[in-house]
Amino acid sequence: MDRAEILALMDLNMREMYREDARATPGGFVVEREGLVLCGSPRGTVLTNMIMVAGRVSAHGVRRAFEETFGVHAMPCSVWTRAHADASLEDELRVAGFDELMSVPGMTLPAAEAVAPPVPPKLRLGVVDDAAGRAAYARVMESAWEVYGIDPETTASHFATLDSLVGPTKCAFIAWLDGVPVAGAVLYLSHGVGGIGWVGTVPAACGHGYGAAVTWAAIEEGARRGGVFSNLQASPLGVSVYRRMGFATSTHYRVFVSRR
Dump pLDDT digits (tens) for 25-64: 999 999 999 999 999 999 999 999 999 999 999 999 999 9
Q: What is the pLDDT of residue 116?
A: 84
Q: How far is CA 73 from each of CA 49, 62, 67, 77, 150, rounded to the nearest angstrom?
A: 12, 16, 9, 11, 20
**Span 91-149, pLDDT tens digits:** 999 999 999 999 999 999 999 888 888 899 999 999 999 999 999 999 999 999 999 99
Name the nearest CA neighbour of 82 among 30, 10, 153, 32. 10
**How is the chain split into domains, by residue range?**
3-105+253-258, 111-251
Residue 175 has pLDDT above 90, yes or no: yes
Give the pLDDT band (50/70/90) at residue 182. very high
- pLDDT, position 223: 95
Q: Taking 90 as the threshold, does the pLDDT of residue 160 lie above it?
A: yes
> In the predicted model, what is the mean pLDDT of residues 205-209?
95
CA–CA distance, 23 with 9 (Å, rounded to integer): 21
Which CATH entry fits the domain spanning 111-251: 3.40.630.30, 3.30.565.10, 3.90.1150.10, 3.20.20.70? Answer: 3.40.630.30
3-class SS letters over the chain:
CCHHHHHHHHHHHHHHHHHHHHHHCCCCEEEEECCEEEEECCCCCCCCCEEEECCCCCHHHHHHHHHHHCHHHCCCCEEEEECCCCHHHHHHHHHCCEEEEEEEEEEEEEHHHCCCCCCCCCEEEEECCCHHHHHHHHHHHHHHHHCCCCCHHHHHHHHCCHHHCEECCEEEEEEEECCEEEEEEEEEEECCEEEEEEEEECHHHCCCCHHHHHHHHHHHHHHHCCCCEEEEECCCCCHHHHHHHCCEEEEEEEEEEECC
Q: Looking at residue 152, what is its pLDDT?
A: 96
Mean model confidence pLDDT for the chain: 96
Pick from 23, 44, 43: nearest CA to 32 = 23
Rounded percentage of the chain residues whose pLDDT exceeds 90: 94
Mean pLDDT of the region 202-221: 96
